[in-house]
Amino acid sequence: MEFATFADRAAAIEAEPADLEIVARTSELLADAGDDSEDRRSAGSAVDPQTVEIVARFVQGRVFPAWDSTKLDIGPTTCYEAIARAAGTNVSGDDVEERLAEVGEIGEVAAGYDFGGQQGLGVFTGGGGNGGGGAGENDLTVREVYETLADLAAAEGSGSQDRKVDLLFGLFNRCSSEEACYLARLVLSEMRIGVGEGTVRDAIAEAFDVPVERVERALQVSNDYGQVARVARDEGREGLDELDLEVGRPVQAMLAQAGTVTDALEEWDEAAVEWKYDGARIQLHYDPEAAEADAETRVFSRNMEEVTDALPEVAEFAEATLEEPAILDGEVVAIDENDDPLPFQEVLKRFRRKHDVAKAREDVTVRPVFFDCLHAGGEDLLAESLTTRHERLRTVLADGESLEQDEDDIEGLSLLWTTDDPDEIEVIDADALEAGHEGIMLKDPDSAYSPGRRGKHWRKRKPDVETLDCVVTGAEWGEGRRATFLGTFELSVRAGDDLETVGKVATGITDEKLEELTELLEPHIAAEEGQAVDIEPAIVFEVGYEEIQSSPTYSSGYALRFPRFLSVRSDKNPEDADTLERVERLRA
Ligand code: ATP
């Protein structure tokens, strides 16, 4: 396919306001992409996609597959310089930049120059974009643009910037206005013709008459729109179904929505609760049979950039622990000499580091912790439930040892509790915070792994938007091991000169903290009946909560849902505590 045809079709898509029409036109473009790769294939080129693959990416403003972290590494200045050179002797990179400041969009700026005037450096054949045949010898093809950009991406070392400008100049020099517009946008990843990932997915289904769910699944495992378009065309639905995860090729990470314990327990029978580790996301690919000796382990960031060399601890862990091929999802956490987590900023000192890794490692140690298993021993697990995947993760990390082994003892395994008990969730949350992590994740135990999705099957517990300062007006003596501690603290707010109750905070407080609170409150006990005590207003707790409900249970007429103890406001007296009016306002 000529690049002029691509540009012409891109312009038509851009001019189209309706989503369905955009899909239809993208679908036609893919169907017409054709295959001009056979000659090149026999020439033995290493990376040699067919034209339909290139078009499926170009139309989204991508040059390489999403899993491939190859970058063009062309800054705007390099691009302006190439445009200026192709535009003629009296145009400079600064002129291009000035025009851009006026016009606001690089495609329009590039289209405004007449590249055909440059004699002797390339022959402008007018492109024209009639979409039909008649390609002159010098007409630029989609394939040539791809190959030149691949060469350009591969340029490194001294003089590579000059080489990049030369290569780009060579392309612009052969462009019509319309081609220049889309080339400039492609190079700067600013395609903006209204074609997103969903459009290409639907267009592939429409163009090659395959079910959209099959396309979606194939995209999730391959992470490559180009490959999926070609397989859909050449091998249909069966071909798509045969695409699998590949160890060494990263997939998009599943993401979480913010959510509450209330939502989670209402939607699912039980929630899987995990600590939310305060680190950076990693995806580990381990293949003991890897073709290249040093590529057994590869580690990718959340954005699928390779970070293996920056985090040698992860590869060392994998090589010491794993025996079968695996793709694991997890977090890398910075730790101190006691193995306690350090703040997220410390991980960042290590995460994308390219130089002096050994030195950085002396300053900050990291360790991986894994919470999901996407592939193990040749089997893809994306469609399995979280419960099943976590069990598989456990066996992978337990190095074949018995399932009886205590989870706590399995290095690198994130802990997971499945429960429908909000109080238990509060305890897990408190433990996570106490251990120096961010809080908890709530996950649907029956859910599959959906790469790239920020769905409702994974919830990160919302941090408290608001907190309340409540007066402690009562408590209860604990039981068993906690018999000498006060717990279950009654919380009240001010209503004029009175105090009205809004709830009780019972859980989420460690034994150590309970002891401290008992010492603080005991002198203020006004009356005792059985385990219940009245406490004279003296102490103010800061509490978090998920929501405020109307409730006949408490004298205020309101109840805090899932109240959590946060701190003692020793700087506040009962007169400074929050009021019923504020509770009413927060509820509205
Ligand atoms: P955040 O800034 O909160 O980390 P995010 O946009 O990077 O958000 P989200 O999907 O919204 O990512 O939140 C989940 C993130 O929390 C994951 O990307 C991961 O890095 C981290 N995380 C820590 N522990 C877990 C866990 N047990 N399960 C899933 N993700 C976890």
**For 437, how many CA atoms within 13 A lie in the half-sphere containing its CB?**
25
Residue nearest atom 13 of ligand 1, based on CA coordinates: 256
SS3 330: strand
Closest ligand 1 atom, CA of 278? 23
Residue nearest to atom 10 of ligand 1 (CA): 255
| Structural element, H or E, at residue 26 | helix 19-31
Rounded Cα–Cα distance for residues 413 and 369 (Å): 6
Q: By mean pLDDT, which of 49-63, 207-221, 497-511, 526-540 is the weakest?
A: 497-511
Q: Which residue has the tokens 């891109």?
A: 10
* Confidence class for position 316, pLDDT limits 50, 70, 90: very high
Q: How confident is the model at residue 469 (pLDDT cuts 50, 70, 90)?
A: very high
pTM of the prediction? 0.78
Q: Which residues line ligand 1 (CB under 6 A)?
A: 253, 255-256, 274, 276-277, 281, 302, 331, 371, 414, 441, 460
274 annotated as ligand-binding: yes
Q: Is the pLDDT of residue 268 over 90?
A: yes
How far apart, in whole angstroms, are the C-alpha atoms of residue 550 and residue 502?
Answer: 10
Q: How far is the CA of 352 from the centre of ligand 1 (A)?
A: 18
CB 314 within 8 A of CB 284: yes
What atom of ligand 1 comes closest to residue 253's alpha carbon? 18
> How far is the centre of ligand 1, averaged over its atoms, from the C-alpha of 451 (Å)?
13
Q: Whose CA is nearest to atom 5 of ligand 1?
A: 255
Task: Calculate how far, in angstroms, residue 253's C-alpha sits from the geometric centre of ligand 1.
Answer: 10
Helices 51-58 and 225-242: crossing angle in degrees, nearest 10, is 120
Q: Is the CB of residue 492 less than 8 Å from the CB of residue 575? A: no
331 is in an annotated binding site: yes
Tell me which residues are annotated as active site: 276
Cα–ligand 1 centroid distance for 382 (angstroms): 18
CA distance 57 to 62: 5
Asked whether 469 and 540 are in contact (CB, 8 A), the reply is yes
Q: How does strand 486-495 pair with strand 498-505?
A: antiparallel
User: Could you read off the pLDDT of 559-578 as tens digits, one per residue?
Assistant: 998 888 888 998 889 999 99
Give dist(CA 254, CA 259) in Å, integer: 16
| Predicted local distance difference test score (pLDDT) of residue 401 | 57
Given this model, what pLDDT does residue 25 score? Answer: 97
For atom 14 of ligand 1, the residue with the nearest CA is: 256
- DSSP for 72-85 reads ----HHHHHHHHHH
Say which residue the tokens 């026999």 belong to.
Answer: 42
Average per-residue pLDDT for the chain: 89
The enclosing H or E element of 469 equals: strand 468-477
Token digits for 397?
């990390």
Q: Binding residue per annotation — 460?
A: yes
- pLDDT band at residue 462 using 50, 70 and 90 as cut-offs: low
If you measure from the C-alpha of residue 441 to the centroid of ligand 1, how many angstroms do you get, rounded to a whole number?
8
Is the pLDDT score of 188 beyond 60? yes
Distance 276 CA to ligand 1 centre (A): 7
pLDDT beyond 50 at 42: no
DSSP reduced 3-state for 584: helix
CB atoms within 10 A of CB 170: 18
CA-closest residue to ligand 1 atom 24: 276
**Residue identifier of the C-alpha nearest atom 19 of ligand 1:** 281
| 558: its two tokens | 């309101």
124 or 228, higher pLDDT:
228
Q: For residues 25 and 55, what is the distance between their CA atoms, to the nearest angstrom?
A: 13
Angle between helices 51-58 and 142-154 (to 10 degrees): 70
pLDDT tens-digit profile of 541-560?
999 888 899 999 999 999 99
Start-to-end C-alpha separation, the chain:
60
What gap in Å lies between CA 91 and CA 82, rounded to an integer? 10
DSSP state, residue 1: -
Predicted confidence (pLDDT) at residue 47 exceeds the cutoff of 80: no
